[in-house]
Structure 1
């Protein structure tokens, strides 16, 4: 009996030992699977927001697809590695001209006196290339609120530095074949020129320096708030270009650019913000297209504004030019690289940069500007509330326009070349829609526009 009991005891002891061992193995497997799942989720999250992929125009996309394996090294570089070749070309040209001037006039001492702006524009140039708010949204608040420079000097510097940086970034965008809306660029550039002239010659004379500071920072904050509201709709349909551009849509873009040009004349930045807002909020253009489009627009507008201040008015600040000299070697690399980096980031990441920068600028205005009079507070609050209301109305109008486009897709109504809406079938119209693909799909399948053909019946016409 003792032997049997001992055997039973050994069995009783032995069985739990086996079970506990197997349980440990199961727990180790579960822990490993959890680690794998966690790492996989983190990798998917990173790819979604920071490696989304570029939106390239059709010509460059076809060039990449048809590139032969035995292509020459220079053809491979110009097609496959444009993101490196483009910034290198623009930086080489600008550095050659800048070094020639600095060596000729021995202006190296400026780096000792004005180094703070060189550091500032490291971040400002990257933001200018990546987002739609331009380097002025960093330079203007820092110069007026931190360095205590007058708004006119800060405005002239913002114009000059964006002229150099945005022009370089525009070349890189064009060279790389990144998708932009050229129709919007042409229309908004014309409106921006007239707006800048009106702003320089009329509006600029009636605003005090504190009012200029609050006007700019409050307006930028209102735009960021509207962009935040829009991005709450994560899966909204977006387009690569303004859908079915016609006369009234072109007129809206022109008026938008007119207002943006006035802001550019006042504070050195603005056309990029208002054009971006109307394209995204009203016409539902994807940020991946609207951002590089606004960069090119700002390069053109600041080039004209710099010419007007320097040649026509002959009143550009010498201090602003000296600040420019210490920032040129920074911005000609930072802005193009920002464009390259921004073309890979998800639109929500780009929008987050806008939120942070504009909020910090507005808070800095309230903290630094003294005396903080009631009229200044009222101005800032009024611009934030009024601007937010305008942008909100643009969002509502954009929703209605989107419904019209969806009806066109469903074949309920159609659009002819003059912009009128009709009913029926026959005669074709090509329309490009931005792809809102699942982010889990491989990068080469992301952001590729697809084309659908719509037909128009000329027998039944109904203008709306």
Structure 2
């Protein structure tokens, strides 16, 4: 009936509808293609492997043995299997299962914490410490000890994954930062930790690293930022800078259970302009070394690990040793900007969590001062980094964005 009343319109409708449908399909396909391209770029970029292994993959992949072809999957399975073979006999012998009804919270938290630890420059303590102190109201010393203990397992597993996959790391930074940190974490645990109360530790933790996140964001807003796969023109002055970075980072780890990782990450990315894709696995290994030393000192030398900390540790191990290698595997495929974005989110969440606990106004003002001072410091080392690498005249990289450091 419609065709009889409006014959002209009915004849024209098919052509109009087809054109509209085609246009919508084109737009839809275009958007779909953009989404796929976005995910391929930022989350499926591929691993940055050791140069010799990458060359073998490129030139003669078909002739490689099966364990070489499946290296990244074995890197996850081997540490997970090892730790579970250790944990299950102990769990059965000492009935760890009885702890889960009351201590399950940290096992759940460490699903995220361990994945973050393996995937970013932030150790699992960056998640565990704020949750335990801000949400669960646990004493910061117990939270710090738990962070050290659980990362000694999780970060060790993630480090194995990094080594076994032969993901590229910065070896000079790994060596010199570790040397500085192994001394300072012992000094911090033994002598310095008692100088600060619980609220001050929480405030210092979130304030310093929030300012670093801001400075890293400002740096990454500079378009086409030039980065390197290793420290350029390495000499004794740069070795000294790394050593001092390790000393500061070890002291931070003594307060909050993590710190040497983010200290090293900040110096590598801001000053030495090492890519986040290389700096991240480097800091994973650094944190593994530092936490093992901290765990050893707190338990074997000081003998001050609380029973509550051991109980949380016992229930969280089977989760951490699975999620940390998964995090290392996932991050090795991500774009450096995606890794940096994870850091921004974590630091912002930590700051919001701290403010949500309604800290004293005095601490808020002190924290704001620390953020301003630390931000100035991080921006300063960023500018120094641009100068030593001859990037200060790179107008394309440094002056296209209004927030860029000139």
* Cα offset, 1:202, TM superposition: 2.4
Bigger share in helix: 2
Deviations 1:400-437 (A, max 9, x none): 02217999xxxxxxxxxxxxxxxxxxxxxxxxxxxxxx
Mean Cα deviation higher: 165-174 or 191-200: 191-200
Q: Distance in 2 between matches of 1:161 and 1:112?
A: 20
Provide TM-score, normalisation by structure 1. 0.80
* Cα offset, 1:200, TM superposition: 1.4
CA contact (8 A) 1:63 1:79 kept: no
Which residue of structure 2 aligns with residue 108 of structure 1?
A: 97
Q: Distance in 2 between matches of 1:405 and 1:178?
A: 31
CA contact (8 A) 1:86 1:175 kept: yes
Which residue of structure 2 aligns with residue 31 of structure 1?
A: 24
Q: Distance in 1 between matches of 2:63 and 2:259?
A: 47
Which residue of structure 2 aligns with residue 384 of structure 1?
A: 371
Residue 41 of structure 2, aligned match among 38, 48, 67:
48
Higher CA-based Rg: 1
Residue correspondence of structure 1 range 2-401 to structure 2 within 5 A:
22-67=15-60, 69=62, 75-76=65-66, 78-370=67-359, 372-374=360-362, 376-401=363-388
Mean Cα deviation higher: 361-370 or 211-220: 361-370
Q: Are the structure 2 counterparts of residues 21 and 368 from structure 1 closer, same or farther at C-alpha, using a change threshold of 3 Å?
A: closer
Unmatched runs of 5 consecutive residues or more in structure 2: 1-6, 395-406
* Cα offset, 1:153, TM superposition: 0.1
Q: Distance in 1 between matches of 2:184 and 2:292?
A: 14
Q: Distance in 2 between matches of 1:295 and 1:385?
A: 28
Q: Please provide the CA RMSD for this pair.
A: 2.1
SS in 1 for 2:389: helix
Mean Cα deviation higher: 142-151 or 39-48: 39-48
Mean Cα deviation higher: 341-350 or 58-67: 58-67
CA contact (8 A) 1:64 1:79 kept: no
CA contact (8 A) 1:145 1:369 kept: no
- Which runs of 4 or more aligned residues in structure 1 lie more than 6 Å from their structure 2 counterparts after TM superposition? 16-20, 404-407
Q: Distance in 1 between matches of 2:200 and 2:50?
A: 42
Which residue of structure 1 aligns with residue 404 of structure 2?
A: none
* Cα offset, 1:224, TM superposition: 1.1
CA contact (8 A) 1:165 1:335 kept: yes
Mean Cα deviation higher: 103-112 or 385-394: 103-112
Q: Distance in 2 between matches of 1:141 and 1:125?
A: 14
* Cα offset, 1:68, TM superposition: 5.5
Q: Distance in 2 between matches of 1:70 and 1:205?
A: 58
SS in 2 for 1:108: helix
